[in-house]
Structure formats: structure tokens, C-alpha cells
């Protein structure tokens, strides 16, 4: 149980284009989803937290107009990188947590590797 | 900022127990200790978590000291597939997200 999927697993795009990454909880309802990114040889950095049906909360330094997050249902969240540039190349990882907050366990997707040329 | 301190790297012989330490001297009474691992180019994998009692599951054991200022993750019989970065994270169960530190890079050697 507690499987989180991401699509695509990797994407290459030209500078200036937008890229959408999907995150799905396959066997549980994710009331809260998180987006992280990871640069080479670094740890995961939290980008934003989203609750189903409400606007995402972004971490300091993360541009909300550049990284659009939609959490429209209890099983799907999307991250759109708008007007991508080479510095946005990174490993993007989503995470989901179920309805019972007392459990608190976050489950992670396999990640999406974005390369912007 | 991460509230834990872990050694940057460790080696372990295949088949032996891997003991990964973590210091969390400022842990609060309502904060849990979580362990995740990340195999290269994959998303983090949940291993185990605990509050104050020792915990065991099919993957590992978690030993928390009585004062809760440190803990040890034990992989009883390490295999090559256990080579990964292991993250020890403390957080209040509920709505706060996991914040990752630098973790320990465990290399299991044949």
C-alpha cells in the first residue's frame, strides 16, 4: 500500500517552454501533497505544500508564479514549471500524506528528472 | 533547518548489521523520529518511525535512547541493495512536512 506515482519520469525541454509533472496517490487519498526538488549531490529541498482544494503554500525563495501547483483532487497534484530555464534543471519529487494526520507518514514518488536545454 | 546530526558516510560489510546513529538533542516531547532512505536517482523510501519506544518492522529496528536525544537505525543483515543515503528526521506528527538534512551515505561492501 501507500504508492505514489509520478509522470513523466524524465523530461527534456527547450528553454522558455512549460513543463507539467503529475503526482498521483494510487491506493490512498492524499489530503496533503508536497513538492521537493533535489540538485545533484544535495539533499531534498521542500518547495511547497498543498492541501486538496486550496492554494499551495510555498517555501521562502520559491516563486509561486513560476512553479504552479494544483491539487484538484485527493489523488492528483500537478506541478507546472513555467518558462523553464536551464537553472530549473533538477530532480523533482512529490510526496503525499493520507487523511489521518496522526499517522504523519509521507510517501514519496519516484521523482521526475527535468533537463532544460 | 534540520534538527538532526548524522555522520556523512559509513561502510558496512554485506551480511553484517548496519547501525546508523542520529543525534537529535533538541527534540521536543511531541516530536517523532522518522527514518527514510534514498537509493540513487529514486524518491525517498519510508523505513520506520518512533516516539520513545523502540520499534521494529520488516525492514529495520529503531532504538531511541531514554532521554530521546539520540537514536540508532539498525539494518540487521545489510545487503548490497541497502546502499543508499539514510535520513533521520524529527518532526511533530500531523501537518508539518518532512525537512531533510544531509543524511548518511551507507555503502554496503561485498
Q: Are A94 and A6 a contacting pair, CB within 8 Å? A: yes
Instruction: Show contacts of B55-61: CB within 8 Å, 24+ apart.
Output: B60/B35
B8 pLDDT more than 80 = yes
In this predicted structure, the answer to whether residue B79 has a pLDDT above a threshold of 90 is: yes
pLDDT at A65: 94
Check CB contact under 8 Å for B97 and A106.
Answer: yes
* CB-CB neighbors (< 8 A) of B8 in chain A: none
| pLDDT (mean) for A10-34 | 94
Q: What are phi and psi of B75, to 5 degrees?
A: -100, 110
Average pLDDT over residues B31-35: 93
Contact A107 B46 (CB under 8 A): yes
Residue of A nearest to B104 (CA): A43
Within its chain, how far is the Cα of B26 from the centroid? Answer: 17
- The answer to whether B86 faces chain A, any CB pair under 8 Å, is no
Q: What percent of chain B has pLDDT over 70?
A: 95
pLDDT at residue A101 is higher than 90: no
* Three-class DSSP category at A63: coil
For residue A18, count other CB atoms closer than 10 A to its CB: 12
What gap in Å lies between CA B36 and CA A3, rounded to an integer?
15
Q: How far is CA A63 from CA A30, A56, A59, B67, in A?
A: 24, 12, 9, 41
Q: List pLDDT tens digits, range A32-78.
A: 999 999 999 999 999 999 988 888 999 999 999 999 999 888 899 99
- Please judge whether B46 and A113 are an interchain contact, meaning their C-beta atoms are less than 8 angstroms apart: no
User: What does pLDDT average to over chain B?
Assistant: 94
Confidence of residue B2 (pLDDT cuts 50, 70, 90): low
Query: Do residues B87 and B8 touch, judged by C-beta distance below 8 A?
Result: no
> Confidence class of residue A2 from pLDDT cuts 50, 70 and 90?
confident
**Over 80: is that where the pLDDT of B37 sits?**
yes
Considering only the beta carbons, identify the residue of A6, A36, A105 that sits closest to B46.
A105
8 A C-beta contact, residue A89 and residue A116: yes
The pLDDT of residue A103:
57
User: What is the average pLDDT across B41-52?
Assistant: 94
Q: What is the mean pLDDT of residues B83-94?
A: 89
Per CB-CB distance under 8 Å, the chain A contacts of B36 are: 108
Cβ proximity of A10 and A113 under 8 Å: yes
Quick check: B42 and A107 CB within 8 A? no
Q: Which residue has the higher pLDDT, B103 or A104?
A: B103
Q: Is the dihedral of CA A33, A39, A45, A49 positive or negative?
A: negative
A5 touches chain B (CB under 8 A): no
Q: Is the model's pLDDT at B92 over the cut of 90?
A: no
Q: Report the pLDDT value the prediction gives residue A85, as an integer from 0 to 100.
A: 96
Cβ atoms within 10 Å, residue B104: 21
| Chain B residue at shortest CA distance from A91 | B41
Sheet strand arrangement including B70-75: B18-23, B70-75, B61-64, B55-56
CA distance A4 to A28: 9
pLDDT: is B70 or B91 the higher one? B70
C-alpha–C-alpha distance, residues A61 and A46, integer Å: 11
In whole angstroms, give the CA distance from residue B29 to residue A97: 22
A83 — contact with chain B (CB < 8 Å)? no
Higher pLDDT, B96 or B50: B50
Amino acid at each position: 500500500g501507500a504508492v505514489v506515482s509520478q509522470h513523466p519520469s524524465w523530461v527534456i525541454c527547450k528553454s522558455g517552454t512549460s513543463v507539467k509533472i503529475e503526482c498521483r496517490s494510487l491506493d490512498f487519498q492524499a489530503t496533503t501533497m508536497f513538492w521537493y526538488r533535489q540538485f545533484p549531490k544535495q539533499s531534498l529541498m521542500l518547495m511547497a505544500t498543498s492541501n486538496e482544494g486550496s492554494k499551495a503554500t510555498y517555501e521562502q525563495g520559491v516563486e509561486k508564479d513560476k512553479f504552479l501547483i494544483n491539487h484538484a483532487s485527493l489523488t492528483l497534484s500537478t506541478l507546472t514549471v513555467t518558462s523553464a530555464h536551464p537553472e530549473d534543471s533538477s530532480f523533482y519529487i512529490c510526496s503525499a500524506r493520507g487523511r489521518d494526520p496522526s499517522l504523519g507518514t509521507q510517501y514519496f514518488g519516484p521523482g521526475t528528472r527535468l533537463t532544460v536545454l | 533547518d534540520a534538527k538532526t546530526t548524522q555522520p556523512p558516510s559509513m561502510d558496512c560489510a554485506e551480511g553484517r548489521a548496519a547501525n546508523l546513529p542520529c543525534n537529535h538533542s533538541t527534540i521536543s516531547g511531541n516530536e517523532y523520529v522518522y527514518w527514510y532512505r534514498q537509493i540513487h536517482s529514486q524518491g525517498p523510501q519510508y523505513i520506520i518511525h518512533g516516539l520513545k519506544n523502540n520499534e521494529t518492522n520488516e525492514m529495520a529496528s529503531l532504538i531511541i535512547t531514554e532521554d530521546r536525544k539520540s537514536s540508532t537505525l539498525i539494518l540487521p543483515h545489510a545487503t548490497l541493495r541497502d546502499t543508499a543515503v539514510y535520513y533521520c528526521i524529527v518532526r511533530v506528527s500531523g501537518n508539518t512536512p518532512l525537512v531533510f538534512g544531509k543524511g548518511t551515505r551507507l555503502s554496503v561492501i561485498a
